[in-house]
Amino acid sequence: MRLAADAPTPDWNLLEAAFECADLELRSYYDTVTGEVCVTGPFEDDPGERERIDADPQRYLEIDHVASREQYRWMERFALEEVADERLRERLLRALTGRRVFRRFKDALLEEPRERERWFAYHSSALRRAIEQWFAERDLPVGTPPPWARSPGDGPA
C-alpha cells in the first residue's frame, strides 16, 4: 500500500464492511478523491448517488465483495494450519463439506471459545490483507495507513 501526503484517507471501517458485505443487492464504491465509501442499492440514502457514480467512473471504483470461495479457503487454512487440537480440526473440516458450510463452521467453534476468538482474529486479518491487496493492485495511494497496520517500531507482527 502506497502512502502519499496528498491522497485521501480511506474510511477503513466502511471498507471492511464493504468487502465483507454478503448482500448481493448492495454495491459499494471507493471515492478516490475523498476516501469515502459510497453504497448503492434498493434502499440507498441518497437517490442521486448512483447518478454521480455513473457520471464519473474513474473517480468511483467498485469494491468487490470477498468471494465466498475465498472465505471458504480462509476457513480451510485456519483449520489445517492454525488449529492444533486434532478433534476440533476434524470437526471443522467436516463442517466444510456439504451445505451451509459457513454456518456449520461457526457452529463447530461455539464449543471452543478460545479457538472461536482466534478464528475471528484470523478472519479479520485475512480481510484486512484483502483490502491492502486491493489498494496495491490498483496502485491507489492513501493519506494514512490503516489503523491495523503496524509501524516499524512496534516489534514483530
Among 22, 41, 65, the domain-final residue is 65
- My answer on whether 111 and 83 are in the same domain is yes
Among 65, 81, 108, the domain-final residue is 65
Cβ-based neighbour number of residue 126 at 10 Å: 17
What is the domain count for the chain? 2
| Confidence grade of residue 44 (pLDDT, cut at 50, 70, 90) | low
Q: What string of DSSP letters covers 10-24?
A: P-HHHHHHHHH---T
CA distance 82 to 67: 22
| Burial class of residue 71, CB neighbours in 10 A (0-12, 13-18, 19+) | buried
CA distance 28 to 81: 32
**pLDDT tens across 118-157, in order?**
999 999 999 999 999 999 999 999 999 999 986 544 434 4
- My answer on whether 6 and 60 are in the same domain is yes
- My answer on whether 11 and 59 are in the same domain is yes
Looking at 22-26, 75-79, 103-107, which range is the least confident one?
Answer: 22-26
47-74 mean pLDDT: 92
Q: For the chain, what is the mean pLDDT?
A: 91
Range of the domain at 37: 2-65
Task: Please give the angle made by the CA atoms of 85, 106 and 122, to the nearest 5 degrees.
Answer: 70
Residue 141 within any structural domain of the chain = no
- My answer on whether 24 and 73 are in the same domain is no
Tell me if 146 sits within 8 A of 130, measured CB to CB.
no
Nearest CA to 157 among 135, 134, 133, 125? 125
**463439506: which residue's cell?**
97
Residue 53 within any structural domain of the chain = yes
